[in-house]
Structure 1
Amino acid sequence: MNMESVQNQLVYTTVKIIAGDGLISSIGTGFFIQRDSETGPINFLVTNKHVVANYEKAEIVFCAKKINQEPDDNSHILITITGLQGFCIKHPDLDICLINMKSVIDAAQKQGNQVFFKSVGKDIFITDDLIKEVSAIEDVIMIGYPEGLIDLKNNKPVVRKGITATCLSLDFEGRKEFMIDAACFHGSSGSPVFLDRTGLITKQTENGFKIGVRHLYYFIGMLRAVPAKTVKGEIKVVDVPTDKKVVSEAELMTNLGYVIKSSCIDEMIEKVISQHIV
């Protein structure tokens, strides 16, 4: 796989999180964000608080890293995090959880397990200036594990495409959120959402102009909940289910999702680092 492609790199930013206490109790999505600190770079695994809940164990699977630093899609490394809550930093008000992966990854490497993943960098977080330029309706992609689906052979997530259902520049209902029109199922909790600004570009040549395609993606938020419709026609907001058994047959998903804005995640990470919480 060509790792110079932005699209190809994005599918390595997520992992499937299986959390529980002895039994599988929660399945969700996590994605990596890397930030610099005084002690060096730190990789956070970001997800929803309701994915990890109060569980003390989580399993995640990485692709192995080859000697040439490329991913080995057919060789996978299972990492089990015990004492999970000790690694979790939870937002006091929002459904955001940061899992400090530094010691987890260091321990894996000491055991000879070189894991491959990509992190969402600060440079692709959407900026305030760009938010002012976006229209009310924009294309988005969401990466995760709907219904727990995963390409087990290659350890790859499922990518879905949708649109913004509310304006990104506005705070939906006064909250630092917006809505997307995309299929949001069990296992999608914690999925990163990216603005897709793919479009045609022209480049001047000696003989005229050359038309090409430009791929631009900006991290705009994380899925946290969905509006569900009851058989009585009532609409209520529920966390994206992490367990198929908890989904009532009397609740119908609306193919809409509530997304926490990336600025909230950015602010939390900056606070955690500045206050030396990690």
Structure 2
Amino acid sequence: MNTTVIYRSPNGDHWMLCTGEKQTRFVRHVANAASGGAVSDVSVEEFLNTAGGRHRGPQHDALRKLLSARTLASCAPAPDRQAESNVQADSLLLSVVQVRTFARTRRLTGATGFLFAREERLFLVTSRHVMVDAPSQHYPDHLEIEMHIDPANLGASVWVSLPLYVEGMSLWRQAADSGGEIDVALLEIPRAQMPRGAVFRAFGPEHIATSGDLVQIGATVLIVGFPLSFHDSLHHLPVVRHGIVASSFGLRFQGKGCFITDARTHRGTSGAPVVIRRTSISADAKPVDVSWGLLGVHSTAFDMGTRDLHVDESLGLNCAWYADVLTTLSEN
């Protein structure tokens, strides 16, 4: 789908001229964040017809000018090439989404999640305590994730609402093992609920770290998320924190299915992917493929209950659950 921005209003609304697969053209309106970021599509003819009366605005004049100047045909290829470039450059960032939870209309918390695809199915991965957490009396009934809708304009996004219960039954998947509950949850995203033109990347089983990935103590990791909901609010992208592996990778720390990272994290990072850069080397010792290895799912910061708050600093250590649990949770 080719898109060209028509007009941006001072309050943040914007309109785009879109050309579909069969060269059908329509106008997409994306409301500002304060209005909920709703997206609506109308045909070019219907959009221009409204300009004949009192509803005429600068967006209609801008579209008439665009069409009369016949710039769409000459400008369409460039956004496509740029869109592909943008998506490739931000492939890791485009797999991570901002999550916010609600109890009916009351907003509760902010968190991080990432997309995981297995065959034709798409899942949201986040921490299980984002879905429900009895100690803090956290009981949301639905959540929202922010999705990009225009590869040529990362500022265009919508919030997608996903229910957590149907007829009282929880929809997410979680797991437990001999060490107890695992703080990872998987929520399937029906393809029909994805916005038209959604722009995203997703991890898959091939990204999960295996025994072939030598992850040593002190190995550099990245934790991609929304600490305290902080992010690039213009392009709706997360930020990356740098850390290291702080326990023996592959061993169950204290008997649980997790390992430890040393990184500075904050509330809102729960559910973030913990990744390493993975490089495959050919016979002539030239890098032939660089992608991301998924090590785990960030859960929470560790602390000591015996720490003197006036004397001792926090440990700065975090729990990350091994990503191979996603293989089990995503099975049919």
Q: 2-side partners of 1:189 and 1:251: how far apart?
A: 24
Q: 1:124 to 1:146 in 2, by over 3 A?
A: same
Secondary structure of 1:115's aligned partner = coil
* Residue pair 1:77, 1:115 contacting (<8 A) in 2 also: no
1:218 has 2:325 as partner: no
CA drift of 1:16 comes to 0.9
1:244 paired residue number:
none
Match of 2:173 among 65, 70, 89: 89
CA drift of 1:198 comes to 6.3
Q: 1:186 to 1:251 in 2, by over 3 A?
A: farther
1:151-166 paired onto structure 2 within 5 Å: 151-166=232-247
RMSD: 2.9
Q: 1:267 to 1:162 in 2, by over 3 A?
A: same
Match of 1:25 among 108, 129, 141: 108
TM-score by length of 2: 0.63
Unaligned runs of 5+ in 2: 1-82, 133-138
Match of 1:10 among 73, 92, 95: 92
1:258 paired residue number:
319
1:237 paired residue number:
none
Residue identity opposite 1:261 in structure 2: Y
Q: 1:79 to 1:214 in 2, by over 3 A?
A: closer
* Residue pair 1:190, 1:222 contacting (<8 A) in 2 also: yes
Question: How much identity, in percent, do the aligned residues show?
Answer: 21
Secondary structure of 2:212's aligned partner = helix
Secondary structure of 1:96's aligned partner = strand
Q: 1:3 to 1:226 in 2, by over 3 A?
A: same
CA drift of 1:191 comes to 0.5
1:243-254 paired onto structure 2 within 5 Å: 253-254=314-315
Q: Could you report, residue by residue, the CA deviation over 1:40-74 in whole angstroms, capped at 9, with x for unpaired residues?
A: x0000011111121311212211104xxxx35302
Q: Could you report, residue by residue, the CA deviation over 1:230-262 in whole angstroms, capped at 9, with x for unpaired residues?
A: 5x516xxxxxxxxxxxxx999964321100001
1:63 paired residue number:
148
Q: 1-side partners of 2:205 and 2:128: how far apart?
A: 22
1:137 paired residue number:
218
TM-score by length of 1: 0.74
Match of 2:160 among 62, 75, 79: 79
* Residue pair 2:173, 2:329 contacting (<8 A) in 1 also: no
* Residue pair 2:243, 2:261 contacting (<8 A) in 1 also: yes
Q: 1:250 to 1:63 in 2, by over 3 A?
A: farther
Q: Which has the higher contact order (CA 8 A, sep 6+)?
A: 1
Q: Could you report, residue by residue, the CA deviation over 1:150-171 in whole angstroms, capped at 9, with x for unpaired residues?
A: 2111010011111101111222
1:171 has 2:232 as partner: no
1:233 paired residue number:
307
Instruction: Give the number of equivalent residue pairs.
Output: 234
1:188-207 paired onto structure 2 within 5 Å: 188-197=269-278
Match of 2:330 among 247, 252, 269: 269
2:76 paired residue number:
none
| Higher strand proportion (structure 1 or 2) | 1
Q: 1:50 to 1:71 in 2, by over 3 A?
A: farther
Unaligned runs of 5+ in 1: 235-247, 274-278
CA drift of 1:197 comes to 4.4
Residue identity opposite 2:153 in structure 1: D
Secondary structure of 1:106's aligned partner = helix
Secondary structure of 1:9's aligned partner = coil
Residue identity opposite 2:274 in structure 1: V
